[in-house]
Structure 1
Amino acid sequence: MSSKAEKVNPTVYIVFLSLVLDLLAFTLILPLLPSLLDHYKHNDSIGLYSWLSGKIQFFQELVGAPEHYNSVLFGGFMGSMFSFLQFVASPIVGGVSDVIGRKPVMITCLVGIASSYVMWALSSNFALFILARFIGGISKGNVSLSMAIIADVSTVHTKGRGMALVGIAFSLGFIIGPLIGAGFAIWAKTKTGNWFVVPAIFAIFLATADLLFFTLYFKETLPKEKRSKIGIWKSLDNAKALINIKELFRFSTVTNIKPDDVKKLRVIGLVYFVYLFIYSGLEFTLTFLTHHVFHYNSMQQGWMFFVIGITMALMQGGYVRRIKPEKTKQTAVLGLWLIIPSFICVGIANNIYVLYLGLLIFAISTAMVVPSMTVLASNFGSEQQKGTVMGIFRSLGALARAVGPIFASIAFWSVGSTLTYLTGSVLLLWPVLTLKRNF
């Protein structure tokens, strides 16, 4: 059967719709985060925000950072915490699902995600808000599990289209979610002092709908005869090994694989990590840049994410999903080249035209790199270890996102956005040159 005749398995579309609901809920908060931190600065009933501000006052005076940039620093710490928890959860989710199946593990993740939005709605102080983000981060293994499910039901020729749908789900989330979140927040400000509660309630609604939809319509993709035979406790031991950063980069728990394939997998993992480490710094601090430098309100930030998301969706729906398997590496390399000028444009932007040029290139690059690198990684490992491979890959991404935002936020806080982004553009030469040379 030719690649043109092969159709994407219907299960992929169930996963796609589940991710759309999940990511709509997840992105509601994006344009609200700078304003939320400003809110807790003035309305924190237990004083945690003020206490933290006092702890960094010496360093703030040492580097000459403006006091209103403290929210950038606190936001960076929370973003890093969220992703660090993903880093811990992803290998556990992937490994356990290889043993007991995808569906029960996914349902557990979705319950945790819905619970985190309940905590957000109740967060009358900064400590409760941090707890909500903690619960959300530890439950966010559903994305790596979705990729494992797609790998379960895809062939070599349909895998790229399936992974592109994951990218499209992310794009749709960025297109619609921030606008909805900003719109609800603006409307709620005229009705109640707790303006963020309405977006939080809508996030609860979306997460609950996702849980019900997945439970009713998803059919297990890893039958018992194809599951790992090592047992649940051995799987958890393997997951603990994956939190060992050295072993994580070595893909040490992926067994029965050719030495040459292991080397290629390690190169892909390292390139992906370095790329996301730098990339996530700009991604996370972007809302703070527009909030503090361009004085954007939540709705303006929502429209900014709309532009990024619609660009990614058009790229992934019209181009990336049609890329032939043999062109996957070439696409990843091109995307890695494009991210460099995007950082330069955002770094030197003194008006919205240069800013949006940088963001346009940023979105095009993202649409190409993430699905392509994911497809490259998913080609390795046996059927019984697809969940483990994708869990490791997702963990590397989560680890990068755990350290990237805090490094970028500290740099933004201490030396400003321009030097931070221009330095990132130089460092981004390493991933693209390494992938070209070694894979």
Structure 2
Amino acid sequence: MEKGKEPIVREKSMMYIIFASLLIDLLAFTMILPLLPSLMDHYRRNDPPDGWYNYFLSSIESFRLLVGAPDRFSSVLFGGALGSLFSFLQFLISPLAGGMSDVYGRKPILLISMIGIACSYALWAVSHSFALFIIARIIGGLSKGNVSLSMAAMTDVSSPATRASGMALVGIAFSIGFVVGPVIGALFARWASSSGGLMEPNWYTKPALFALTLALTDVFFILFCFKETLHKSKRAKSLGSSLGQAASYINVFSLFKFTAVQNLPKSGRTDLQSLGRIYFVYLFVYSGLEFTLTFLTHHKFGFTPMRQGMMFFWMGLTMALLQGGWVRRIKQERVRSAAVKGLFIIIPSYVLVGLATNEYILYSGVFLFAVSTSMVVPCMTTLASQYGGDEQKGTVMGIFRSLGALARALGPILASIAYWSVGSTATFLVGSLALLWPWYALRRTSVKQD
């Protein structure tokens, strides 16, 4: 009997190891978020006149003037542009990393990704110019295949009955990371500000070295604790068969068709393509409205950065509690139904936010937003993870993650244009109407439930 239970214990232990690795990475990744305004101010003062900062700033200023945004939001648009760049790089790397892991295993490619991330933090620590900072972000973006690899590994070690729980753990890691990481960054910012450190030329070195320490900890954690989840007998036979279609990995039309996923029955491919389109449209609208929420709370309600930080803190805490206490216990046959409900809940959330005339209505919409987010991404990822053989889970998860990254790269751009062109109310109401399609489409789509 004990022997019969042993694989389950190993399965659960590996799920928590994957969760811990992803959480360490996300803590380092998110701690830079509250530091970005101070970093931009630092490079504005210290980058040479012919440096990259002024070049990028002139482009951002042209965009700001085009959409009619006030001057004080230049730094927010600058941060959004950096975020879009990072997401675009993830769009490029996720399916490639997933395809390579299908051939060589999850662990070696995961280690390469984490070493690349550590190198990006090391370069950030010595980024005396904005050019070096941008190069560090590019290296970090191109190394961010670890998220899709973690999802693929979670699929490897979970059974159909526990897969929703595994994907919920990934969601919990994101929720905790986006709650705790920015707090760590804010503490560094407060320390630097109170000690006059923001005026020092290398004040950012300490938070960068802290992020580097976390990344190196993750490297050694993976090296010694992470056991390979994809057995050699289940891997793709050759690199040529998995990466020979590299063009299809970065070709948008091929991505939506999941061309790189081989040997799927026609019905399965059709369902997977439908899931990909639904996921992309959802995240495209979602990420855009999430980005402009910062503008809305400042413009209509006078939120300071601290109040905005507290709002996102409570959102993240709500998501973590729901994912940890309920979403991860959703049974396999109810995953699709939960995703449909989550897609429906976000529609009134954006209506409330768009029409909010006081903070009570605003927070009602934000609460529904957090509830929906806790359900949709883990459940839809679980649905996608059921397609493809064991030798192609990395490719499937990589493409799915890549579609999400592409949506996150494009969504904030269009939403910013809409926000400053037609106003917050119209932007959020149109966005909520646009989200009717993902809800209706998933409701009518037949997906695997085993």
Contact 2:67–2:417 under 8 Å retained in 1: no
SS in 2 for 1:131: helix
Aligned partners of 2:308 and 2:75: how far apart in 1? 17
Q: Please, which of 63, 70, 91 is the counterpart of residue 87 of structure 1?
A: 91
1:418 Cα deviation from its structure 2 partner:
3.6
Which residue pairs with 2:100 in the alignment? 96
Q: 1:58 to 1:282 in 2, by over 3 A?
A: closer
Contact 1:34–1:291 under 8 Å retained in 2: no
Q: Please, which of 392, 395, 399 is the counterpart of residue 406 of structure 2?
A: 399
Kindly tell me the number of residue pairs found equivalent between the two proteins.
437
Q: 1:351 to 1:52 in 2, by over 3 A?
A: farther
Which residue pairs with 1:27 in the alignment? 30
Do structure 1's residue 205 and structure 2's residue 205 form an aligned pair?
no
- Normalised TM-score (structure 2): 0.90
Which residue pairs with 2:442 in the alignment? 435
> Superposed, which structure 2 residues align to 1:344-423 within 5 Å?
344-423=351-430
Amino acid corresponding to residue 248 of structure 1 in structure 2: L
Which residue pairs with 2:347 in the alignment? 340
Do structure 1's residue 217 and structure 2's residue 217 form an aligned pair?
no
Range that drifts further, 215-224 or 279-288:
279-288
Q: 1:386 to 1:127 in 2, by over 3 A?
A: same
1:181 Cα deviation from its structure 2 partner:
1.0
Range that drifts further, 420-429 or 232-241:
232-241
Q: 1:106 to 1:307 in 2, by over 3 A?
A: same
Contact 2:68–2:420 under 8 Å retained in 1: no
Q: 1:173 to 1:157 in 2, by over 3 A?
A: same
1:332 Cα deviation from its structure 2 partner:
0.3
Which residue pairs with 1:246 in the alignment? 253
Which residue pairs with 2:120 in the alignment? 116
Which residue pairs with 2:19 in the alignment? 16
Aligned partners of 2:411 and 2:315: how far apart in 1? 20
Aligned partners of 1:295 and 1:184: how far apart in 2? 25
Percent of aligned pairs sharing the same letter: 58
Aligned partners of 2:163 and 2:176: how far apart in 1? 20
Q: Please, which of 268, 271, 296 is the counterpart of residue 261 of structure 1?
A: 268
Aligned partners of 1:364 and 1:420: how far apart in 2? 21
Which residue pairs with 2:148 in the alignment? 144
Contact 1:347–1:418 under 8 Å retained in 2: yes
Aligned partners of 1:95 and 1:251: how far apart in 2? 12
Deviations 1:21-51 (A, max 9, x none): 0111111122333444344444433453434
Q: 1:61 to 1:305 in 2, by over 3 A?
A: closer
1:291 Cα deviation from its structure 2 partner:
5.6
Range that drifts further, 196-205 or 289-298:
289-298
SS in 2 for 1:379: coil
SS in 1 for 2:244: helix
Q: Please, which of 129, 132, 136 is the counterpart of residue 132 of structure 1?
A: 136
Contact 2:60–2:77 under 8 Å retained in 1: no
Aligned partners of 2:134 and 2:193: how far apart in 1? 22
Q: 1:213 to 1:438 in 2, by over 3 A?
A: same
Deviations 1:224-263 (A, max 9, x none): 222110x224422223312111111111121222111111
Contact 1:23–1:170 under 8 Å retained in 2: yes
1:74 Cα deviation from its structure 2 partner:
2.5
Contact 2:172–2:323 under 8 Å retained in 1: yes
Aligned partners of 2:280 and 2:92: how far apart in 1? 15
Aligned partners of 1:145 and 1:368: how far apart in 2? 21
Aligned partners of 1:295 and 1:202: how far apart in 2? 33
Runs of 4+ in 1 over 6 A off after TM superposition: none
For structure 1, list consecutive stretches of 5 or more residues without a partner in the other structure.
none
Q: 1:405 to 1:222 in 2, by over 3 A?
A: same
Aligned partners of 1:278 and 1:430: how far apart in 2? 11
Contact 2:34–2:189 under 8 Å retained in 1: no
Range that drifts further, 86-95 or 279-288:
279-288
Contact 1:73–1:410 under 8 Å retained in 2: no
